[in-house]
């Protein structure tokens, strides 16, 4: 067995989460990446020779959670981060497919989420994932924490989920890419990249230049160019002809996705170079 695998996944809680029935989550795709924060598995279908699209996950992050509502919010947060990663590395077409469908608690059939009290649209605490990171000492043994860190170095999905617990910039990138990619959300992504390059990761350079930036910000800021989706409202200068450079939204999405890939791979390489 690889040094990077838990001898046994350290699940010490009764919560089980359901993901969509899509091929992307099969064991030969995302489901086979040996993710530790989100332990994805597929329940076999005995009627069809074991083939199944019944994708579920559990997580050690719930090992010391006893409140069902808190467990549901943990599942929502993990699914959101997974959706961000999938958007970055497989494309926007899968983004709206990656949702948490339900949660059950083994041995307690009365626990069913979502329900009329708490659904998928609940407002999550802004520091929920950082709190999960600070709880590792409670949820994993010393040996399990060592294995968890080693496994984080195996691929960019594992490293990103691991590092996002302490790296607010990386965390925000995953969260922004988990939402629809609009002019406004892409602008937030751009500002995050520029802050990371200037203040946090000086060994990394964003993959677009100032000319590309101008082609993006000109339409993104101008009501007269893209209308109601612009960052600004109906200002007087929006009545004037805009002769500046213009980028299509599809171009902007591609540009920032490429930049996200570059940054996440940079952080993986950086992690691999640490003891």
Angle between helices 249-272 and 68-90 (to 10 degrees): 110
For residues 151 and 211, membership in a common domain is answered with no
pLDDT tens, position by position, 117-168:
999 999 999 999 999 999 999 999 999 999 999 999 999 999 999 999 999 9
Q: Which two tokens stand for residue 166?
A: 């302490």
Say if residue 188 is in the same domain as residue 164: no
Alpha-helical regions (H) of 153-209: 156-163, 168-177, 183-195
My answer on whether 129 and 19 are in the same domain is yes
Whether 171 and 224 map to the same domain: the answer is no
For β-strands 50-58 and 112-113, DSSP reports them as unpaired
Same domain for 275 and 245, yes or no, is: yes
**Residues in CB range of 142: below 8 A, 6 or more apart:** none
- The Cα 207–Cα 51 span in angstroms is 42
Instruction: Please give the model's pTM, rounded to 2 decimal places.
Output: 0.90
pLDDT tens-digit readout, 38-93: 999 988 766 666 567 889 999 999 999 999 999 999 999 999 999 999 999 998 99
- Are 171 and 69 in the same domain? yes
- Look at residue 3 in the predicted model and tell me its pLDDT: 41
| Of the residues 151, 178, 205, the one at which a domain ends | 178
User: Which of 154, 178, 202 is the endpoint of a domain?
Assistant: 178
Does 163 share its domain with 193?
A: no
- In this structure, the answer to whether residues 194 and 265 fall within a common structural domain is yes
Q: In terms of residue numbers, what domain contains 257?
A: 181-275
Q: Which of 178, 208, 230 is the last residue of a domain?
A: 178
Q: Residues of 20-46 as b/e, b for ≥16 C-beta within 10 angstroms?
A: beeebbbeeebbebbbbbbbbebeeee
């Amino acid at each position: 067995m690889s040094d990077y695998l838990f001898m046994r996944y350290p699940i010490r809680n009764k919560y089980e989460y359901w993901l969509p029935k899509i091929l992307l989550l099969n064991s030969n795709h995302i489901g086979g990446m040996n993710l530790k924060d989100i332990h994805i598995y597929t329940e076999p279908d005995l009627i069809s020779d074991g083939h199944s699209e019944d994708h579920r996950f559990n997580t050690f992050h719930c090992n010391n959670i006893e409140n069902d509502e808190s467990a549901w919010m943990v599942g929502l947060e993990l699914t959101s981060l997974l959706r961000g990663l999938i958007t970055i590395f497989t494309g926007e077409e899968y983004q709206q497919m990656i949702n948490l469908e339900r949660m059950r608690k083994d041995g307690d059939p009365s626990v069913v989420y979502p329900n009329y009290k708490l659904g998928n649209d609940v407002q999550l605490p802004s520091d929920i994932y950082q709190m999960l990171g600070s709880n590792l000492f409670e949820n994993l043994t010393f040996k399990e924490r060592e294995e968890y860190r080693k496994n984080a170095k195996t691929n960019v999905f594992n490293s990103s989920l691991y590092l996002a617990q302490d790296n607010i910039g990386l965390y925000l990138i995953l969260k922004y890419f988990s939402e629809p990619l609009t002019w406004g959300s892409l602008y937030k992504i751009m500002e995050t990249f520029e802050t990371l390059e200037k203040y946090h990761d000086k060994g990394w350079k964003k993959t677009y230049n100032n000319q590309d930036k101008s082609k993006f910000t000109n339409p993104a800021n101008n009501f007269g160019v893209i209308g109601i989706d612009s960052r600004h409202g109906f200002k007087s200068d929006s009545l004037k002809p805009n002769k500046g450079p213009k980028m299509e939204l599809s171009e902007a999405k591609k540009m920032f996705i490429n930049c996200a890939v570059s940054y996440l791979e940079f952080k993986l390489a950086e992690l691999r170079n640490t003891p």
